[in-house]
Structure 1
Amino acid sequence: MNILFVLGTKAQFIKTIPMINYAITSKYSVTVVDLKQHPEKTISLISKINGEFTYLQFMENKKDIGTYLGLLKWTLQILFKIIFKKEKIFNNNLAIVHGDTLSTLLGAFLIRRNKGKLVLLEAGLGFPGIFKHFPESFIRLYVAKFSHYLIANGEDQINQLKTWGVKGNIIEISNNTIYDSLDLVGLEQIENKKEVVISIHRTENINNKENMKLLLNVISNIDDSYHVSWYLHIPTKNKLKSYDLINSNKLKNVDLFDLVPYDKFLNKLYNSKFVITDGDGVVEECYILGIPTLVWRYEHLDSNHLFGDESSLLLSEFNLEKSLDFFKNYKKIKTNRKIQNSSPSKEALDKLIESI
């Protein structure tokens, strides 16, 4: 049996590589189709795939896409190729996409166009409405509607899929595959300065100048005794420049860095006193690692119940007083690392094969 993984972003590779590795060790023929949305970030991740597999570069692209114009050009190029070129490799084979990105949407179109069996990993995430958290919400709904198999973890996600009236086969797993992803990284506790990590990239934040100014105001209140590192996504850096904020005096004690490889970044998180982020993936990682984290969002569609008891996360709601209180009391919400006894990736693949 040939199993295909259609991926494009860093997060998609991170969350599917454990499943890819398990498929290879289970003697399935594995093909990774790379849409090249984040080629610079994913090149080091691909090296974590163990064993023999086929790598198919769907299009030529050597640079991470970080502008809206670049994203539009990349999307149109992929659509043109999907429409005008048949890919027989998909025909009647299982083909897996992940999440709610443009790569997810384009991958789904590619698979269905070529008569593949579309599998959506991490299906049924929270849905506030098509035009709220756009385009992620739209992609979640659209791809779920057209999937033959939907892999979800938790009652909330399954109920969301049922509310949408999906026709595909819903497969429940015990937890998110990010638990397996963290096991791929050698985490090392280092005695260091009082480190703080910042990572912000969601469109509803970076496209709102007032929101970014408020964030900088919050950051400026971090005590000078902390060493603060902000790892900048390309769109975030571009927006800070366009708002004339990147040289703001409020960032005088903040070191700005480009993104670093996943292993290095995860070790930075692991050794942080606290983290400020708006990204779902980083939120999940900090929750599992038990790192106190200020989630820079007004709401979080908490399908995985990350904000319940024994959580190291605090939702900022863009509230200055709440954020400042977090800086004073973050130690109170630090937790131990959460351990998953079984492998969600193994569970997902085994149940998927059983359901055919």
Structure 2
Amino acid sequence: MFDRHIICVVGARPNFMKMAPILRALSVNLPSIPVLLVHTGQHYDKDMSDKLFDDLELPRPDINLEVGSATHAIQTAEVMRRFEPILDSYNPHCVIVVGDVNSTLACTLVAVKKNIPVAHVEAGLRSYDKKMPEEINRVLTDQIADRLYTTERSAENNLQKEGISSDRICFVGNVMIDSLLYGRKNAPTVSNILQSFSINSSRSDKFKKYAIVTLHRPSNVDKLDTLSSLLSILIEISEKIPLIFALHPRTKNNIEKFQLHSVFNSENIIFLPPQGYLEMLGLLSNSTLVLTDSGGLQEESTALGIPCLTLRENTERPITIDEGTNTIVGGNRDLILSCVDQILLGKGKSGRVPEYWDGAAAERITEDLKNWLVI
């Protein structure tokens, strides 16, 4: 029995989707190695976290650091402070981090300073927009992590431009798509989802064809003018195709703060609270198009062949544009409405599924771990 652990870190909702297939692959490909799942508690909604673990068939964390919400500096520092004793107690063989949240960078910093190897899953993605906190986390994590697992080939070019040698980089594909393909069979139907929120059948009948909307990034929802403009555009779109809007708490709070309540009166928009992973997958799989500022939905819509309009000025996932179904539209009203019209005419981007987005990325990661860790 191998007596030193692999520690796997999750901190926020997207991390759960990325870590679930890795844990399954570790149990199959490296069964002799004990695995410790550490949840930093950066995503601190207990009910939502519990639902995600169930949806993803992810084991409950062995340790929860219960960090909770705070400023970026305080949250990062608190994760570091609480994670260090875990490393001292277990002296793990390596630490696996995923994505680009504060927990990713914080745990990497602590481990590297203790000479514990770190593998970063989803390395090399770049928006080249340093106003995004996630971009800072990505760049710094990649500079100091030991093994960098990439989702697309362009990521290696990004890393090499930053002086990172190719022998630290391994192209494995996208573990988010592993979770999508694994969970899709269990996703509920749209009618069942709407029914669970007591939306009557006469109203839900008009949502046989619909678009999905998510908005949560501070650049879109924290300023009155920007949020008001985007909501006005969405109301216009809803006259062309009904919208199902999964409303993030930050967005809901700002709609109320800025007194933009009139958007709730639209007959052609259904507002839902944040959805569980399988519910969101069910809604996405049956949608006509997606309007979002989420990185994960850009990837998932590409994997499913559903046109996506990204309400941002850039993306760290360029493959979804170059090969997939994604179009960057920012907050440009005319461009957004034109793209919606094209999609509704059947002229939206069809794209193709990128290389290694095949449900086997986690297996490639664990196979590489065997060699990298000399197990």
Shorter-chain TM-score: what band? 0.7 to 0.9
Using the TM superposition, give the Cα deviation of residue 9 of structure 1 relative to its aligned residue in structure 2, in angstroms.
Answer: 0.9
Residue 94 of structure 2 contacts residue 119 of structure 2 at CA under 8 Å; is this kept in 1?
yes
Q: Is 1:57 the equivalent of 2:63?
A: yes
Corresponding residue for residue 296 of structure 1: 311
Using the TM superposition, give the Cα deviation of residue 113 of structure 1 relative to its aligned residue in structure 2, in angstroms.
Answer: 4.8
Gaps of 5+ in 2: 192-206
Corresponding residue for residue 330 of structure 2: 317
Using the TM superposition, give the Cα deviation of residue 111 of structure 1 relative to its aligned residue in structure 2, in angstroms.
Answer: 2.5
1:272 aligns to what SS in structure 2? coil
Q: Is 1:11 the equivalent of 2:14?
A: yes
One-letter code aligned to 1:16: M
Using the TM superposition, give the Cα deviation of residue 344 of structure 1 relative to its aligned residue in structure 2, in angstroms.
Answer: 1.1
Residue 177 of structure 2 contacts residue 359 of structure 2 at CA under 8 Å; is this kept in 1?
no
Partner Cα separation in structure 2 for residue 118 and residue 136 of structure 1:
18
Corresponding residue for residue 177 of structure 2: 179
2:347 aligns to what SS in structure 1? helix
Gap change, CA 1:274 and 1:48, over 3 Å in 2: closer
Using the TM superposition, give the Cα deviation of residue 107 of structure 1 relative to its aligned residue in structure 2, in angstroms.
Answer: 2.0
Corresponding residue for residue 299 of structure 2: 284
Structural mapping, 1:245-260, within 5 Å? 245-248=260-263, 251=266, 253-260=268-275
Gap change, CA 1:167 and 1:239, over 3 Å in 2: farther
Residue 55 of structure 2 contacts residue 277 of structure 2 at CA under 8 Å; is this kept in 1?
no
Using the TM superposition, give the Cα deviation of residue 337 of structure 1 relative to its aligned residue in structure 2, in angstroms.
Answer: 7.8
Partner Cα separation in structure 2 for residue 247 and residue 111 of structure 1:
49
Cα deviation 1:124-158 (Å, max 9, x = unaligned): 111515x332x111111111111111111333211
Corresponding residue for residue 42 of structure 2: 37
Residue 19 of structure 1 contacts residue 345 of structure 1 at CA under 8 Å; is this kept in 2?
yes
Gap change, CA 1:219 and 1:86, over 3 Å in 2: closer
Residue 237 of structure 1 contacts residue 246 of structure 1 at CA under 8 Å; is this kept in 2?
no
Cα deviation 1:174-205 (Å, max 9, x = unaligned): 42112211122125676862222111112222
One-letter code aligned to 2:289: F
Higher helix share: 2
Using the TM superposition, give the Cα deviation of residue 241 of structure 1 relative to its aligned residue in structure 2, in angstroms.
Answer: 2.3
Using the TM superposition, give the Cα deviation of residue 90 of structure 1 relative to its aligned residue in structure 2, in angstroms.
Answer: 4.8
One-letter code aligned to 2:50: I
Q: Is 1:198 the equivalent of 2:213?
A: yes
Using the TM superposition, give the Cα deviation of residue 286 of structure 1 relative to its aligned residue in structure 2, in angstroms.
Answer: 0.6
Residue 26 of structure 2 contacts residue 366 of structure 2 at CA under 8 Å; is this kept in 1?
yes
Cα deviation 1:296-327 (Å, max 9, x = unaligned): 11222344x21125x32222132211111122
Cα deviation 1:208-236 (Å, max 9, x = unaligned): 33221221121011243643221122222
Residue 56 of structure 2 contacts residue 179 of structure 2 at CA under 8 Å; is this kept in 1?
no
Structural mapping, 1:1-356, within 5 Å? 1=2, 2-26=5-29, 27=31, 28-39=33-44, 40=46, 41-47=48-54, 55-60=61-66, 65=69, 74-82=75-83, 85=85, 87-128=87-128, 131-133=130-132, 135-166=133-164, 169-185=167-183, 186=185, 187=187, 193-224=208-239, 226-248=241-263, 251=266, 253-303=268-318, 305-309=319-323, 311-330=324-343, 331-333=346-348, 335=350, 338=353, 340-341=357-358, 343-356=360-373
% identical aligned pairs: 22
Gap change, CA 1:107 and 1:240, over 3 Å in 2: farther
Alignment length (residue pairs): 345
TM-score (norm 1): 0.85
